[in-house]
Amino acid sequence: MSLIFLIDLLGTVSFSISGVLTALKKQMDPFGIFIIAFVTAVGGGTLRDLLIDTPVFWMGDLSYLYVILGAAVLAVIFRKKLSYVRRSLFLFDTIGIALYTIIGVEKGIEAGFHPFICVGLGTMSACFGGVIRDILCNEIPIIFRKEIYATACIVGGSAYFLLIRTTLPPEIVVVIAGVIIIGIRLLAVLFKLSLPSIYSKP
C-alpha cells in the first residue's frame, strides 16, 4: 500500500465521520446519513478528478465505498462516545482537510500543473466535500464564512509543494504539511482568529 493511497483512505475516514456527525445533528435517517458521509468524503476529490480529466478515483476502486460505509456505521454505533459532537466534528474535519490537501497537491504535481494550480487542487479537494455537505444540510459552508479554513489549506499545500522537492523523506513532508494545516486551524479557533470582515458592525 503506497503512502498516498494510505493518506487518501485516512482522509476518507475522517471526512466520512465528519459527515455522519453533521447528519446526526440534523437527525437524518440512515440513508441520509450515508449520503452526507459519502458526499463529504468524495465530493472534493470527484470535482478535482473531473477538472483534471482523470478517472474519478472512487469509481475505479470500491475500497473507498467500503471505507465510507464502515466509518459511517462505526460513527453511528459509537456516537454516544463522541459526546462532544461539535468538538469531534471540528477534529475530524480538520484532519480531513489536512490529508485531502496533500492528496490534491500531489495529483496536480503528477499531472504536471503549475504550482498555483496544484495548491488550488489541494484546497478544492479538501474544502468542496464540506461545501456540498453544508449545502445539503442547509447551512452556510464554513469556507464562505470568516473562519480560517481554506487559508490553512493554501499555506499547508504550498509547504507540501515546496518541501516535496527537497531531499526530505516523503513521510516527513506529509507530517510537516499536515501539522501546518492542523496547527493553523487550531490556532485560529483557539485565539479566535479570522479573516477581516468587509461588513461594518451596526
Closest residue by Cα to residue 128 from 114, 115, 144, 113: 144
Q: Would you say 92 and 74 are in contact if contact means Cβ atoms under 8 Å apart?
A: no
The answer to whether 32 touches 23, Cβ cutoff 8 Å, is yes
Number of compact structural domains in the chain: 1
CA-nearest of 153, 147, 160, 142 to 181 is 153
Kindly report the pTM of this predicted structure. Answer: 0.86
Q: Do the Cβ atoms of 157 and 107 come closer than 8 Å?
A: no
- Measured in residues, the chain has a length of 202
Residue 202 lies in a domain: no
Residue 198 belongs to a domain = no
Which of residues 201 and 142 earns the better pLDDT score? 142
Task: Classify residue 171: in a domain, yes or no.
Answer: yes
pLDDT of the residue at 84: 58
Range of the domain at 43: 3-190
- For the chain, what percent of residues have pLDDT higher than 90? 63
**Residue-wise pLDDT tens digits, 24-77:** 989 999 999 999 999 999 999 999 999 999 999 999 999 999 999 999 999 898
